[in-house]
Amino acid sequence: MNYTLHQLQVFLKVSETKSITKAAEELYLTQPAVSIQLKNFQEQFDIPLTEVVGRQLYVTEFGQEIARAAENILNEVHAINYKTMAFKGQLSGKLKITSVSTGKYVIPYLLADFMKLHSEVELMLDVTNKNRVVKSLERNEVDFALVSVLPDMNIQNIPLMENQLVLVANRNFDKPKRPLTLDEIQQLPLIYREPGSGSRHVMERFLEQQNIKITKKMELTSNEAVKQAIIAGLGCSIMPVIGIKNELQNGDLQIIPAEGLPQFSQWNLIWLKSKNLSPAAEAFKNYLLENKSTIIQTHFGWATQL
């Protein structure tokens, strides 16, 4: 057999994504390039690694075994590179973080200066919904997770800052001179995030605590979709302030005062108590403990002045 590390990398990504198209996107390759590498890799085995049923690609049982072996080989290669860097006195390794979707407005600022200081650290960042974040932690697939609602798990955490949620409407909404009453909120068409979202959790907790029954509602799967729906006049929503800075500044959205609002949750960086942090992960944790106040004040001080 004469397979290359590149072929192992391509096959592993195909096995993870179950798609040549998605593998090509994540590897920054063309689809034909991935297909050729997959074909060349397959030719070295008498047993099929993948099969196509309908239009869906599946990894065979044998292919899954080879994928696990490929992952182990690539991990060993990465370990050699990291040890070389460590011997030269440079911090290196992989830093794996997952974040709930609204956290995309927070996590880049927590990472930016750290990554500049340690250019040999390889960052793997996944921004997704809360349910997938929790699963990634449970499976020990990541070092840290950024969440606004703490999961019921055996974790450690670094509290970061308040996550302020407010009632948001578009520029055409007649802003009242006094806060909306609970009865008035009940009459609004409200736009929800999808089940499992931290923002939806806080919103539903508020509505339940105030015994507000919403009859006109819409459900969307991202903060960006919710913002565009509000701007278009489809309704209002209870949203995190940090995700609407630009829209507030240009006047597309406005905060509507209302009884019981704003609501608050807390941004936290969390990790499993049982997790043995890598040198890169330990360095990031210590960096954040030392610098979080400065980062938050510099980049999010505006949110406390609304």
134-154: pLDDT as tens digits: 999 998 889 999 999 899 899
State the pLDDT at residue 83: 67
State the pLDDT at residue 212: 87
Q: Averaged over 58-64, what is the pLDDT?
A: 93
Residue at a domain's end among 36, 60, 85: 85
Percent of the chain, pLDDT > 90?
63
Same domain, 145 and 284: yes
- Tokens standing for 233? 């006049």
pLDDT tens profile 64-92: 999 999 988 887 777 776 666 555 556 66
State the pLDDT at residue 86: 58
State the pLDDT at residue 47: 93
Highest mean pLDDT among 1-5, 104-108, 149-153: 104-108
Same domain, 249 and 276: no
The answer on pLDDT for 250 being more than 60 is: yes
Rounded mean pLDDT of the chain?
Answer: 90
Helix (H, G, I), strand (E, B) or coil at 238: strand
| 194 — pLDDT class (breaks 50, 70, 90) | confident
State the pLDDT at residue 109: 96
Same domain, 274 and 259: no
| 304 — pLDDT class (breaks 50, 70, 90) | confident
Residue 266, C-beta contacts closer than 8 angstroms, at least 6 positions apart: 148, 150, 159, 160, 161, 162, 163
Same domain, 194 and 253: yes
- Tokens standing for 153? 């798990």
State the pLDDT at residue 241: 93
State the pLDDT at residue 100: 92
| 104 — pLDDT class (breaks 50, 70, 90) | very high
Same domain, 187 and 140: no
**Cβ atoms 252, 112 nearer than 8 A:** no
Same domain, 109 and 231: no
Residue found by looking up tokens 């070092």 in the block: 143
Q: Averaged over 250-257, what is the pLDDT?
A: 95
Same domain, 171 and 260: yes
In terms of residue numbers, what domain contains 298? 91-160+266-305
Residue at a domain's end among 33, 57, 85: 85
Same domain, 37 and 177: no
Residue at a domain's end among 85, 105, 125: 85
State the pLDDT at residue 279: 84
Same domain, 36 and 68: yes
Same domain, 106 and 179: no
Among 40-44, 91-95, 119-123, 181-185, the least confident range: 91-95
Instruction: Quickly count: other Cβ atoms within 10 Å of residue 133's Cβ.
Output: 26
**Cβ atoms 265, 148 nearer than 8 A:** yes
State the pLDDT at residue 168: 96
Same domain, 149 and 286: yes
Instruction: Quickly count: other Cβ atoms within 10 Å of residue 16's Cβ.
Output: 14
CATH number at 188 reads 3.40.190.10
Instruction: Count the domains in the chain.
Output: 3
The answer on pLDDT for 10 being more than 90 is: yes
State the pLDDT at residue 145: 96
The answer on pLDDT for 39 being more than 90 is: yes
Rg (CA), the chain: 23
CATH number at 30 reads 1.10.10.10
Helix (H) or strand (E) holding 290: helix 279-300
Q: Averaged over 260-286, what is the pLDDT?
A: 92
Give the C-alpha separation, 86 to 93, whole Å.
9
Q: Averaged over 44-49, what is the pLDDT?
A: 93
Same domain, 147 and 276: yes
